[in-house]
Structures are given as structure tokens and as C-alpha cells.
Structure 1
Amino acid sequence: MQYLVAVDGSEPSTEALEHAIGVAKRLDARLLPVYSVEPRILVEEGETAPSFTEANDRLYTEDISKAEERGERVLEEAESRIREAGVESESSLLYGDPVDAIAEFAETEGVEGIFVGHRGLSERVEGLVGSVAEGLVEHATVPVTVVR
């Protein structure tokens, strides 16, 4: 039995990780912590920034290697906490839109469920950038536990 837990280093994802660890211990299950690196749109000096439509409503200026480094750090911290709790785990760095990447990975790995933190964004902000938790609830093919 194995469960996926989405982590991003935020307080809500840490709470989701702690909840997932508790469940995994009770069920003698394995945890699969994942971090999704989103593709970034880089605007070079002198270039015109793409419109929001062209940028798929997301505009970032972060180097992919920095995003990967951050993801690896977050996963290492999650793995450390999981090991301390005596739970078996295997982490994965995913690429792409978090909702799509996490839902697809969960299906491919045959997990029993997904744990994800709730960001608590305002309705206005959530409407602009979306919610990974909400997207997973709508698109995942396995049960999703949203931890507040």
C-alpha cells in the first residue's frame, strides 16, 4: 500500500506531510513525496514579455536549475522527516503543471490516495493562479485528502 504526498516547502504542505506520515504509520504504508517543477517562462533582457494569454496566465522569471534545486531540497527534507518516523518512502521530482503531473504520477504508480496541503489563498488570488488542491480533487483518479 502506498500514498502520494505533494510537498512544496510551504507550511500547508508540511502539515499534509505530517498527516500522511501518521496515516502511513497506522496502515504500514509507503509514502511517495513529490515536488512538481513548473516550466518557467524566461524573458531575456531586451525582449518583450509575453501577454498573459501567451504565457498561459503564468509569468515567471526563474531559472529551471534553481527550481530543481529548490525541489530537491524540499524532497530531501520530506524524506528525512519520513525516515525519522520509520516510514518507507521514495521521492520524485516531477515536471509540468502540478495538477497534471501529480495526478498522472499517482495513476502511473497505482497509489491508494493523495495528500496535499490547502494554501488558504484568497478567492481573488486563487481565481487568478488556481489551486493545486482543488485541481487534484477534480482531476485525480484516486481519493485526495486536502489538509488544512
Structure 2
Amino acid sequence: MAVLVPIDDSEPAMSAVEHAAETFPDRDLTLLHVISPNTSMYGEAAAFAYDEIVESQREAAEELFEEVTDVFATHDRSVTTETIVGDPARSIVEFAENEGVDHIVIGSHGRSGASRVLLGSVAERVVRRAPVPVTVVR
């Protein structure tokens, strides 16, 4: 049985990591970081620097995974890490389908006021499309 925890550098994602480590002590855990290169924010030259942009984001993902391993060390756990390039919500759902994931634990955006009841757009789409149960952590 496997649990997928999609992560980025947000507080809700770190809360999802903690929750998964505590709630699923006997399951294999996979941390997934999806690189979604938004080349529009880099201007026209981005088309020529696509590989460099993706490589830079892969390096950032490795740093993120190193930070998160501290959480699992305190729970005496090891995890598998994966980095893929694509649309975040679609990639998370496809990964869950293709890798035999039984459960997804995902962070939601921390919001206040009326928007607090709404999930982040990625979390919302994963909840709607996932073939397995999804736990959303704030």
C-alpha cells in the first residue's frame, strides 16, 4: 500500500508531509514534486532557455526533498522522491493511477475569510479527479 504526498515549498504542503508521516506509519510514502515551467514569466527568451529553467527547478526540488527528509528522520521513516514535469493536478492524478497509489495526502492553500472554505486550485482538481481517497491538509 502506498501513499502519495505532492509537495512544494508551502506551509500546507509541509503540514501534509507531517500528517502523512504520522497517519500512515506502515505505508510506503512517495513525495512528488511537479515542475510546471511557466515560461511566460520569463519572456520570449524562455523558449530558448526551457531546459535551463527545468534544470534549475529540478535542483530546487532536490533541496526541498532534503529539507523534508528531516521530518521523516524524526519518525524513523524513509521515503521515495519523484520529480516530474507537467501540469501539477493532471500529473499528480496520472502518477497515482500509474504507480498504484492507494491514498493521496495534499496540502491546501492557507486562506482567511470567506475564501477559507475553498481549496487551492491544484488540490481541488486532484480531489475531483483522483481515483483514490484524498486527504487535504491545511
Name the SS for the 1:86 alignment partner: coil
Match 1:95 to one of 70, 85, 88: 85
Q: CA RMSD in A?
A: 2.4
- Whether 1:145 aligns to 2:128 is no
Structure-to-structure mapping, 1:1-148, within 5 angstroms:
1-25=1-25, 28-41=26-39, 42-44=42-44, 63-121=53-111, 123=115, 131-148=121-138
Q: Alignment length, in residue pairs?
A: 127
Deviation at 1:91, TM superposition (A): 0.6
Taking structure 2 as the reference length, the TM-score comes to 0.81
* Aligned 8 A contact 2:7 2:33 in 1: yes
Higher helix share: 2
Q: Which has the larger radius of gyration?
A: 1
Name the CA distance, whole Å, in 1 between partners of 2:123 and 2:75.
Answer: 25
Output the TM-score relative to the length of structure 1: 0.76
Alpha-carbon offset, residue 121 of structure 1? 4.9
Partner of 2:49: none
Note the residue ranges of structure 2 that are not aligned, 5 or more in a row.
47-51
- Percent of aligned positions with the same letter in both sequences? 39
